[in-house]
Amino acid sequence: MIDEAEYKKMIKRCLRCSICKWIPQVQIKSQKYASACPAIDVYNFHPYSGGGKIILALALEMGRIQPSEELRDIVYKCTECGNCAVACKFLNTLEPLEIIIRLREKLVDSGYGPMPKQQAYIEAVKKKNNAYDELHEKRTDWLPEDVKVDPNAKILYYVGCTSSYRRKEMAIAAARIMNAAGVPFNILKDEVCCGSPVLRTGDVKSFEEVLNKNLDLIESKGIETVIISCAGCYDTFKVDYPLHRDYNFRVLHTVEFFNELIESGQLKLTKKVPLTVTYHDPCHLGRNAERYEEWDGDVVHLMPLVSINIPEKPKRTGSEGIYDAPRNILKKIPGLELVEMERIKEYAYCCGAGAGVKSAFPEFALQTAKTRIEEAEDTGANTLVSACPFCSTNLQDGIKDKGSKLKYYDISELILMSLGLEPEKLKEATAGVA
Ligand code: SF4
Ligand code: SF4
pLDDT in tens, 84-107: 999 999 888 889 999 999 999 999
Interval between CA 100 and ligand 2 midpoint (Å): 9
* Cα 96 from Cα 77, distance rounded (Å): 14
Spell out the domain ranges in the chain.
1-113, 116-263
Q: Check if 202 has its Cβ closer than 6 Å to any atom of ligand 1.
A: no
Q: Check if 57 has its Cβ closer than 6 Å to any atom of ligand 1.
A: no
Q: Check if 92 has its Cβ closer than 6 Å to any atom of ligand 1.
A: yes
Pocket of ligand 2 (CB under 6 A): 36-39, 49-50, 53, 78-84, 96-97
CATH topology of domain 1-113: Fumarate Reductase Iron-sulfur Protein; Chain B, domain 2 (1.10.1060)
Over residues 310-364, the pLDDT tens digits come to: 888 778 899 999 999 999 999 999 999 999 999 999 999 999 999 999 999 999 9
Nearest protein Cα to ligand 1, atom 8: 17
Q: What angle do CA 382, 326, 362 make, to 5 degrees?
A: 65
Index of the ligand 2 atom closest to the CA of residue 97:
1
| 298 band by pLDDT with thresholds 50, 70 and 90 | confident
| 297 band by pLDDT with thresholds 50, 70 and 90 | confident
Q: Does 116-263 carry CATH code 3.40.50.1860?
A: yes
Nearest protein Cα to ligand 2, atom 2: 81
- Site to probe by mutation for ligand 2, drawn from 20, 22, 78 as the one with most ligand atoms within 8 Å of Cβ, is 78
Report the pLDDT averaged over residues 297-314.
79
Q: Is 384 helix (H, G, I), strand (E, B) or coil?
A: strand
Of the bound ligands, which one is closest to the alpha carbon of residue 41? Answer: 2
Q: Check if 16 has its Cβ closer than 6 Å to any atom of ligand 1.
A: yes
Report the pLDDT averaged over residues 128-151.
95
Q: What angle do CA 91, 321, 132 make, to 5 degrees?
A: 110
| 23 band by pLDDT with thresholds 50, 70 and 90 | very high
Of the bound ligands, which one is closest to the alpha carbon of residue 19? Answer: 1
Interval between CA 79 and ligand 2 midpoint (Å): 6
SS (H, E, C) 261-320: HHHCCCCCCCCCCCCEEEECCCCCCCHHHCCCCCCCCEEEEEECCEEEEECCCCCCCCCC
* Cα 61 from Cα 103, distance rounded (Å): 10
Interval between CA 20 and ligand 1 midpoint (Å): 5
* Cα 81 from Cα 288, distance rounded (Å): 7
Interval between CA 48 and ligand 1 midpoint (Å): 13
Index of the ligand 1 atom closest to the CA of residue 96:
1
* Cα 426 from Cα 279, distance rounded (Å): 20
pLDDT score, position 429: 53
pLDDT score, position 427: 67
Interval between CA 298 and ligand 1 midpoint (Å): 20
Whether 152 has a pLDDT exceeding 60, the answer reads yes
pLDDT score, position 433: 41
Of the bound ligands, which one is closest to the alpha carbon of residue 353? Answer: 2
The phi and psi torsions of 253 (rounded to 5 degrees) equal -80, 155
Index of the ligand 2 atom closest to the CA of residue 48:
5
Interval between CA 141 and ligand 2 midpoint (Å): 36
Index of the ligand 1 atom closest to the CA of residue 87:
3
Contact criterion met (CB below 8 Å) for 55 and 14: yes
